[in-house]
Amino acid sequence: MPTPRLVIIGLDCMEPSLVFEQWREDLPNLSRLMAQGMYGRMESSIPAITVPAWSCMMTGRDPGELGIYGFRNRRDRDYHSMAISDGRAVKFPRLWDILAEAGWSVAVLSVPGTSPPYAVNGALVSCFLTPSTDVPFTHPPELGDQIKAWMPDFMMDVPNFRSDEKDRILDNLYRLCDQRFTLAEKLIQRDQPDFLMLVDMGVDRLHHAFWKPMDPRHPQYEPDSPFATTIHDYYVHVDERVGELLSHCDEETAVLVVSDHGAQPLMGGICINEWLIAQGYLTLKETPDQVMPLDQAAVDWGQTQVWGAGGYYARIFLNVKGREPQGTVTMADYERLRQELTEKLSHLTDPTGKPLPIKVFKPQNIYQKVRGRAPDLIVYFDDLAWRSVGSVGLNSLYTVDNDTGPDDANHAPFGLMIFHDPAQPQTGRELEGAQLYDVLPTLLHRYGITPPDGLRGKVWR
């Protein structure tokens, strides 16, 4: 048996157009995997966000089935109950759990959705949601002591990556990346696992911090910046680390490189709650004299039908009688109001008056099941090129900045996949129509393991 039999290299937010088109010549290791395997753009979950996308990929379940609709989710039906969903919210077995059932030993490094760490058949290092290495961050716990001995400054994430400390962020990015790949190499040598998966969050942090100097399409493009080649140089570095990691694997090791979503320039923000106020759906007791989050504003819930949340996409919540504490919308009116909002949102324009492509999704139409407290509507502004800004007091429908700190990039709905399986060599075939849900069924099929019932994806042929 090769060691490992299967390696998954997760590169959070890696953008397919940069790898497949712009910089392919500069990425020899990824290019070789593409030439000897199959590759393509891979559609993300809706929403295309780190949390829940990696958990969707690893379980074959959609956000509705997981009950995870983004980084923060409603804990209850109160108006201010958004909280971060950690790995305990994922109630389905993940790829490495299913492989372990089939007798595989596993090493799982920093895959989003694995904090707090839990028992696996092998080693697990928890993800970027772990506050620090002062809390348990590994299974087994003694692996944490070994990692600290190897790397005393072991990082869980790049701290404060939405800031203007560009040199410090860049230094942290490389350290985070190198630590993940070096740790993977050490665990392959020490444990010889059958399966290894790592996720580098650095690519995502890189895009948020350094997209403006790279991309002339960006409305705040910074020509002649010292950071003009920063994203390119990091992609080249990741490619080198991929090559080094694979040199520790056998010739027969199957390799899957994946990103959970892509990236694009941040064109601006749509102030969703300002829009709802202007349309008469959301009522404040007084207009704030400064910009503030909605949960700090004096909302008149008895006079409010709808409110929204910011992020990469807009979440629209209806204030339903009998469901929310001061609900005003009757169930008889619920569907009509959802339809009316969908219709009105579709007429949104950009600041110059040009129509903006708007996609409004009803959770019941796009998910196999809807668990937990889903938004009543999910809205993409121009395929995520515009983000949703939830603050109030902006006195404008538009903003050029993110309300959570300096930000250059937004997510894009397609990530990438490159699959090289020496037992089934391909000739650089470009795969059409790949979805992130396909990863689990494809890999289980490849190793002859019966998939759980009700998976959403299909097997890549």
CATH assignment at residue 42? 3.40.720.10
User: Which residues are CB-neighbours of 4 under 8 A, at least 6 positions away?
Assistant: 107, 188, 192, 193, 194, 195, 196, 249, 250, 253
Domain extent, residue 374, equals 268-405
Residue 391 lies in a domain: yes
Q: Indicate if the pLDDT at residue 1 is higher than 90.
A: no
Determine the residue type at 142. Answer: E
The answer to whether the CB of 161 falls within 8 A of the CB of 208 is yes
- Asked whether the beta carbons of 24 and 405 are under 8 A apart, the reply is no
Residues 286 and 425 in one domain: no
Residue 460 located in a structural domain: no
pLDDT at residue 460, rounded to an integer:
95
Q: Is 370 contained in some domain?
A: yes
Please tell me the total count of domains within the chain.
2
297-327 confidence digits (pLDDT tens): 999 999 999 999 999 999 999 999 999 999 9
Q: Would you give the end-to-end CA distance of the chain in angstroms?
A: 24
User: Is 371 in the same domain as 416?
Assistant: no
pLDDT at 59 over 90: yes
Q: What is the pLDDT of residue 206?
A: 97
- Same domain as 326, residue 254: no
What is the token pair recorded at 384? 């995520």
Q: Name the token pair of 282.
A: 């959301």
Same domain, 92 and 191: yes
CA distance 428 to 112: 29
Listed residue (188, 194, 258) closest to 6, CA to CA:
194
Identify the sign of the CA torsion 29, 34, 36, 42.
positive
Q: What H or E segment, with its residue span, contains residue 238?
A: helix 230-247
Q: What pLDDT is attached to residue 374?
A: 97
Mark whether 387 and 415 lie in a shared domain: no
Same domain, yes or no: 82 and 41: yes
**Residue closest to 109 by CA, chosen among 92, 88, 130, 91:** 130
Strands 106-109 and 195-200: parallel
| Residue 169 in tokens | 């962020």
Contact 393, 273 (CB under 8 A): no
Which pLDDT tens digit goes with each residue over 82-102? 999 999 999 999 999 999 999
What is the rounded CA–CA span in Å between residue 4 and residue 197? 10
Q: Are residues 369 and 433 in the same domain?
A: no
Domain assignment present for 137: yes
225 within some domain = yes
* Average pLDDT of the residues in 344-363: 96
299-302: Cβ within 8 A, 24+ apart = 299/79, 301/79, 301/325, 301/326, 301/328, 302/326, 302/328
pLDDT in tens, 360-396: 999 999 999 999 999 999 999 999 999 999 999 999 9
Give the pLDDT of residue 400.
Answer: 83
Find tokens 């895009």 and name the residue: 207
- Kindly compute the dihedral angle of the four CA atoms of residues 331, 275, 374, 137, in this order, to the nearest 10 degrees: -160
Check if the beta carbon of residue 230 is closer than 8 Å to that of residue 222: no
Q: Do 306 and 219 lie in a common domain?
A: no
**453 within some domain:** no
Does 260 fall in a domain?
yes
Name the DSSP class of 459: -
pTM for the whole thing?
0.97
Helix (H) or strand (E) holding 17: helix 16-17
**Whether residue 330 sits in one domain with residue 381:** yes
Both 230 and 368 in one domain: the answer is no
Integer CA distances (angstroms), 89 to 85, 124, 242, 316, in order: 6, 17, 31, 22
Average confidence (pLDDT) over 140-159? 97
User: Looking at residue 401, what is its pLDDT?
Assistant: 73
Residue 407 predicted with pLDDT over 90: no
Q: Are residues 223 and 317 in the same domain?
A: no
- Whether residues 70 and 95 fall in one domain: yes
In a domain, 461, yes or no: no
